[in-house]
């Protein structure tokens, strides 16, 4: 039985633009590489922010 790839194991999610395919349909024929994340089809999952905690580095960068 083939193993099913689970992006969650690698803290990744499927690209919302191309749905993990890495390419987009092009008219009239063929495909274009998904430019949103470089055609990989997966993106690094954002770290979950816990309530009540702040990242001082992120906060200082937002003020700039």
Q: The whole model's pTM is what?
A: 0.54
Instruction: Give how far the C-alpha of residue 41 lies from the chain's centroid of Cα atoms, to the nearest Å.
Output: 7
Q: Report the pLDDT value the prediction gives residue 59, as an integer from 0 to 100.
A: 54
> Domain map of the chain by residue range?
7-63
> Which residues on neighbouring strands pair with residue 31, listed in sequence order?
25
Q: Please tell me the predicted confidence (pLDDT) of residue 58.
A: 54
Closest CA to 45 of 7, 5, 19: 7
Scanning the chain, the segments in alpha helix (DSSP H) are 56-63
pLDDT in tens, 6-62: 888 888 888 888 888 888 888 777 888 888 878 888 888 877 655 555 555 555 555
- Nearest-Å Rg of the Cα atoms of the chain is 17
Residue 63: C-alpha distances to residues 46, 51, 55, 59 (Å): 20, 20, 13, 7
């Amino acid at each position: 039985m083939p193993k099913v790839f689970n992006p969650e194991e690698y803290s990744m999610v499927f690209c919302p633009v191309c749905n993990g395919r890495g390419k987009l349909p092009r008219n009239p024929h063929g495909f274009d590489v998904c430019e949103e994340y470089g055609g990989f089809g997966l993106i690094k999952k954002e770290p979950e922010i816990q309530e009540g905690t702040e990242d001082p580095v992120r906060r200082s960068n937002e003020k700039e």
